[in-house]
């Protein structure tokens, strides 16, 4: 098999990244934008020892599950790499990810629920972080082509709230009008690296964040004046990121105008959100995710709950009215301040948050005589550390409620918990990110007698 070779392939499966999978003369070939059941003529793009990547030249037999989309860039960039698949089949694909991981771990006896569909299939994101680059001599916003840093200019981001798309384009035009240079990542020069826009689904408040190489630039006053005129924009923040890095946000924010936070809701609980706060992207699906976790946990009014990796308190404050008390732990001091402020904002008196590492704080609380009935944990994609798992089981809760954004690390961690005497009956997938391969999941681990 050689680069640029054109071959016919029968697609038999989807990879976890939603690429079509085919086999040819002992090689596995991953074909972008191809679906199981299709026969395609494909051009080989890259050849490795036992696998290759290809792109479709022609679809000779089309899957009935294919959706005809006008903007193929959504699939090409990975921004919405399932956009060409019917939504019910997307939900099946996500459930199958969990099923296949359990099979590999020899845990096929565990039940997997049907994927909980999102109320919105498109336009659901309450936040957009889009790169700003120069393309053909002009400042553009868009998304990087998959596995590259080539910017594909876009004005319709498909999964993002249309109001956010409107503001992104308006800010782009203002930056162009004032000749603000886009960031050049090769030479680490230019000015605006990313546009970050957040919108409250509840109040409609919009915050614009300019991620810039410098903490000030000549055109900033004029740019700020024009951004202030954009309908429904409430605040502008400059985030200073001077480093040559792929990390989007820098560590320092400068408020240019408006409020330093916007307010949104999960269910009936309000949250103040700062520029760098983690807040679930899908505002309408998040309360359904938390309600599922709370229902599966079968909480009691007498329960003492620990909210680990608590962030600004989204899970703990949603749980608080069901239990005796919530104690939250978070390593980011500003998030802890926000969590306690959010408790006060909602008149919640039985939830308190502290700064620290959960693996150190939980055993200390246990040694001081605090009884923990339930631990809620919602870790980043890398999952839990062995140190956290040891600390959690040492604390001795009756239940551990694990909300995961990565089924692979979830299954790995569940196996670790089993070695420590905690087991589970089922995993419930939840679609927080329609049109993408990402899947959240809820599992309740129970201490074995």
Given a cut of 70, whether residue 75 has pLDDT beyond it is: no
Q: Are residues 291 and 436 in the same domain?
A: yes
Secondary structure of residue 175 in the 3-state scheme: helix
Residues identified as active-site? 405
Secondary structure of residue 288 in the 3-state scheme: helix
Of 66, 89, 116, at which residue does a domain stop? 66
Q: Are residues 302 and 218 in the same domain?
A: no
Q: Above pLDDT 90, what percent of the chain?
A: 86
pLDDT 10s digits, 18-32: 889 999 999 999 998
Whether 106 is in a domain gets the answer: no
Whether 153 is in a domain gets the answer: yes
**Residue 439 pLDDT class (50, 70, 90 cuts):** very high
Q: Are residues 135 and 37 in the same domain?
A: no
Average pLDDT value over all residues in the chain? 94
In the block, tokens 């309600």 appear at 291
Q: Are residues 305 and 441 in the same domain?
A: yes
Q: Which of 141-155, 219-233, 346-360 has the lowest mean pLDDT?
A: 141-155
Tell me what pLDDT residue 120 has.
96
> Mean pLDDT over residues 348-370, rounded?
95
The C-alpha atoms of residue 301 and residue 371 are separated, in whole angstroms, by 14
Tell me what pLDDT residue 76 has.
65
Secondary structure of residue 318 in the 3-state scheme: helix
Indicate the number of domains in the chain.
Answer: 3
Tell me what pLDDT residue 152 has.
87
**Residue 7 pLDDT class (50, 70, 90 cuts):** very high
Q: Are residues 61 and 135 in the same domain?
A: no
> Mean pLDDT over residues 326-339, rounded?
93
Tell me what pLDDT residue 272 has.
93
**Residue 438 pLDDT class (50, 70, 90 cuts):** very high
Q: Are residues 293 and 435 in the same domain?
A: yes
Q: Are residues 136 and 250 in the same domain?
A: yes
Q: Are residues 150 and 256 in the same domain?
A: yes
Q: Which of 15-19, 117-121, 190-194, 197-201 has the lowest mean pLDDT?
A: 15-19
The C-alpha atoms of residue 414 and residue 389 are separated, in whole angstroms, by 10
Write the CB contacts of 416 (distance below 8 Å, at least 6 apart in sequence).
384, 386, 389
Given a cut of 80, whether residue 77 has pLDDT beyond it is: no
Q: Are residues 167 and 213 in the same domain?
A: yes
Nearest to 37 by CA among 81, 77, 89: 89
The C-alpha atoms of residue 261 and residue 146 are separated, in whole angstroms, by 32
The tokens for 376 are 């809620």
CATH number, domain of 26, equals 2.40.50.140
Of 216, 234, 266, at which residue does a domain stop? 266
97-122 per-residue burial string, b: 16 or more CB within 10 A, e: under 16: bbbbbbeeeeeeebebbebbbbebeb
Tell me what pLDDT residue 71 has.
61
**Residue 334 pLDDT class (50, 70, 90 cuts):** confident
For residue 183, give the DSSP letter. Answer: P
Q: Which of 153-157, 208-212, 294-298 has the lowest mean pLDDT?
A: 153-157
Phi (first) and psi of residue 365, to 5 degrees = -60, -40
Q: Are residues 178 and 307 in the same domain?
A: no
Q: Are residues 440 and 399 in the same domain?
A: yes
Tell me what pLDDT residue 81 has.
84
Secondary structure of residue 271 in the 3-state scheme: strand
Of 66, 95, 111, at which residue does a domain stop? 66
Q: Are residues 257 and 325 in the same domain?
A: no
What range defines the domain where residue 168 resides?
A: 127-266
Given a cut of 70, whether residue 65 has pLDDT beyond it is: yes
Given a cut of 80, whether residue 449 has pLDDT beyond it is: no
pLDDT 10s digits, 102-157: 999 999 999 999 999 999 999 999 999 999 999 999 999 998 877 677 888 988 88
Whether 146 is in a domain gets the answer: yes
């Amino acid at each position: 098999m050689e680069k640029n070779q054109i071959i016919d392939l029968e697609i038999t499966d989807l990879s976890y990244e939603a690429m079509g999978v085919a086999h040819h003369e002992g090689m596995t070939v991953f074909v972008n934008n191809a679906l199981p059941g299709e026969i395609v003529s494909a051009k080989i793009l890259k050849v490795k020892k036992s696998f290759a990547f290809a792109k479709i030249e022609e679809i000779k037999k089309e899957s009935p599950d294919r959706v005809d989309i006008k903007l193929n860039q959504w699939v090409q960039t990975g921004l919405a790499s399932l956009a060409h698949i019917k939504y019910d089949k997307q939900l099946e694909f996500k459930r199958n990810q969990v099923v296949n991981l359990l099979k590999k771990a020899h845990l096929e006896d565990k039940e997997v629920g049907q994927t909980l569909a999102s109320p919105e299939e498109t336009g659901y994101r309450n936040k957009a972080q889009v790169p700003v680059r120069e393309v053909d001599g002009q400042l553009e916003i868009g998304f990087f082509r998959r596995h590259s840093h080539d910017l594909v200019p876009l004005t319709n981001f498909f999964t993002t709230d249309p109001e956010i798309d409107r503001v992104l384009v308006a800010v782009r035009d203002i930056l162009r009008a004032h000749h603000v240079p886009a960031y050049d990542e090769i030479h680490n020069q230019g000015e605006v690296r990313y546009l970050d826009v957040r919108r409250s689904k509840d109040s409609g408040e919009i915050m614009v964040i300019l991620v810039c190489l410098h903490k000030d630039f000549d055109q900033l006053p004029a740019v700020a004046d024009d951004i202030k005129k954009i309908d429904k924009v409430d605040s502008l923040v400059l985030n200073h990121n001077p480093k040559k890095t792929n990390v989007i946000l820098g560590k320092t924010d400068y408020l240019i105008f408006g409020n330093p936070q916007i307010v949104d809701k999960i269910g009936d609980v309000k949250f103040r959100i700062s520029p760098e706060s983690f807040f679930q992207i899908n505002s309408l699906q998040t309360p359904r995710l938390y309600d599922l976790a709370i229902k599966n946990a079968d909480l009691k009014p007498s329960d003492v709950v620990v909210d680990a990796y608590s962030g600004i308190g989204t899970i703990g404050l949603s749980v608080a009215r069901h239990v005796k008390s919530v104690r939250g732990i978070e390593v980011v001091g500003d998030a802890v301040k926000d969590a306690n402020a959010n408790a006060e904002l909602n008149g919640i008196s039985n939830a308190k948050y502290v700064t620290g590492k959960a693996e150190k704080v939980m055993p200390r609380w246990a040694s001081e005589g605090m009884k923990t009935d339930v631990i809620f944990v919602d870790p980043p994609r890398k999952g839990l550390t062995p140190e956290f798992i040891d600390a959690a089981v040492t604390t001795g809760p009756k239940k551990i409620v694990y909300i995961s954004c990565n089924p692979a690390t979830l299954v790995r961690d569940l196996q670790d918990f089993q070695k420590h005497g905690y087991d589970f009956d089922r995993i419930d997938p939840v679609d927080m990110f329609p049109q993408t391969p990402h899947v959240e999941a809820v599992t309740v681990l129970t201490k074995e007698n």
